[in-house]
Copies of this chain bind each other. A is one copy, B any other.
Amino acid sequence: MPELRKDPLSETWVVISPERKRRPQFFKSAGEDVLSTEDCPFCPGNEDMTPPEIYSLRDGGSPANKPGWKLRVIPNKYPAFRVEGQLDRFAEGFYDKMNGIGAHEVVIETHSHSKGIDELSVEAAADIFITIKRRILDLKQDMRLQYIQVFKNHGSMAGATISHPHSQIIALPLVPQRIKERLSHAENHFKVKNRCLFCDIIHHEREFRKRIVMENNDFIVLSPFAPRFPFELAVYPVHHKSSFHEMDDNAFYSMALIFKDMMARLNKVLEKPAYNLALFNTPFGVDCRDYFHWHFEFIPVISGTGGFELSTQSYINPIPPEEVIEIFSRS
C-alpha cells in the first residue's frame, strides 16, 4: 500500500510507493524507450496488456478492451495511489503519515503510436481535453479526494517510460503545497485588489505585448515574466474561469486549435523536444471561484537542473522570456 509521509522540514507530503519499483524501466537510466507498435501496451490489439479500461471513445460500438477505440482511459498498471481502502491518518513518533488513497489513471490520447497533438484533427485533440474533464467530474464524486493533478510527460528525458502519446491523472487525498501556495497568493491579491491575479497578468501582457506567444478569442499562450525554464509557456483561458472542469465542451475546440498551433511551432523551433505539461485547477471543497483561474504550464526539457535548483527551488534560466517571443517570431 502506498503511503504519504509529511517531511517536517518542508511540511510537504512525499508519496512512498514501492509498487512503482516494479515498473520494468525502474533503475534503468534515461534513454528513449522505442517500443515497436507490437510491444506497445497502448497500441490497438494490445488491450490485454493494460488493466481493463475505465472509459473509451469508440466508433460503431466496438466492445470494451478490444480494438476500435479512438481514445482510452485505463488505471495505471503501477499506480502511485490506490482507490481501495479507507483514508487513515496516523503518527510515527513525531512524524505524520496517511495511507496512499487516491487514483492514478492514464489517458491514451490516440490509437496512433506516434502522432502528437499537432498531427491530430481538431476534434480528436478536443476529445482529449473533454475526456479529462469527464474523468475529473467522475473522480470529484469521491469525497476522500481533494485535488486532481493532470499532467503529461512526453519523451524519456521528461520522465515518460512509454512513448505512445498519453496523459496521466493523479487524484490525491490532499492539496499539494505548491497548489496551496498558488491559491493563497491569488487569494491575497484578490483581497488587496479585488481582482483576479491571473486576469491582471493577462491584461498586463496584452498591453505590454512582449511575451505573448499566440492568442485567439478564448485562449492566450504566454512566455511568463519569470519562467523557471527556457521556453516555459503558460496557457490561460482569456475570460475568467476558475475550474477546468466547469468549461463548456465547445471551448475545448478553441483550445485544441491553440494547442495544435503551439505544439507545431515548438516542434519546429526546439526540434521535437521532450516536455512536461501540467494543469493547474481548483481543489475540491475550496471556494476560490473569484480569485483562481485555471491554466496549463508547459515546460520543454532543454537544460537540466542541478543542486542549486534542487536545494533552493530557485531557478537559473539563461533565456529571457522576451527573447523566446523573438525566436518564435523568426520561425
User: Which residues of A are at the interface with B, using a C-beta cutoff of 8 A?
Assistant: 3, 5-21, 26-27, 29-30, 80, 92-95, 149, 151-153, 156-160, 168, 170, 172, 176-179, 181-182, 185-186, 189, 197, 200-201, 204, 207-208, 224-228, 276-280, 297, 299, 302-308, 310-321, 323
Cross-interface CB contact of A307 among B5, B152, B310, B316, cutoff 8 Å: B152
Are A228's CB and B308's CB within 8 A?
no
* Chain B residues, CB < 8 A from A280: 311
Given A27-B303, A95-B204, A297-B311, 12 additional A-B pairs, CB 8 A: A3-B320, A8-B225, A10-B178, A20-B318, A21-B318, A27-B302, A95-B226, A153-B306, A157-B304, A276-B307, A278-B307, A279-B311
Are A226's CB and B5's CB within 8 A?
yes
Are A316's CB and B12's CB within 8 A?
no
Cross-interface CB contact of A317 among B17, B186, B200, cutoff 8 Å: B17
* Chain B residues, CB < 8 A from A185: 8-11
* Chain B residues, CB < 8 A from A179: 312
Considering the complex of A and B, which 7 residue pairs feature the smallest CB-CB distances, nearest first? A159-B306, A151-B307, A278-B311, A176-B312, A276-B307, A5-B226, A7-B226
Summarize A's interface: helix, strand, loop or mixed. mixed
Selected A-B contacts with CB under 8 Å, 9 pairs: A8-B226, A13-B314, A14-B227, A16-B226, A17-B316, A18-B319, A29-B157, A92-B225, A153-B306
Are A6's CB and B226's CB within 8 A?
yes
Cross-interface CB contact of A17 among B153, B176, B310, B318, cutoff 8 Å: B318
Q: How far does the Cβ of A187 sit from chain B's closest Cβ, in whole Å?
A: 12
Q: Report Cα–Cα, A160/B305, bound state, in Å.
A: 9
Q: How far does the Cβ of A193 sit from chain B's closest Cβ, in whole Å?
A: 9
* Chain B residues, CB < 8 A from A16: 226, 317-321
Cross-interface CB contact of A18 among B176, B314, B320, cutoff 8 Å: B320
* Chain B residues, CB < 8 A from A29: 157
Nearest-neighbor residue (CB-CB) of A176 within chain B: B312
Are B5's CB and A308's CB within 8 A?
no
Q: Which of A10, A172, A182, A307 has the most CB of B within 10 A?
A: A307
* Chain B residues, CB < 8 A from A189: 8
Assess A178 versus B224: contact at CB under 8 Å? Given A8-B185, A159-B307, A277-B307: no
Nearest-neighbor residue (CB-CB) of A151 within chain B: B307
Nearest-neighbor residue (CB-CB) of A28 within chain B: B303
Are B94's CB and A204's CB within 8 A?
yes
Are B18's CB and A318's CB within 8 A?
yes
Q: Report Cα–Cα, A206/B172, bound state, in Å.
A: 32
* Chain B residues, CB < 8 A from A181: 10-11
Nearest-neighbor residue (CB-CB) of A198 within chain B: B9
Q: How far does the Cβ of A208 sit from chain B's closest Cβ, in whole Å?
A: 6
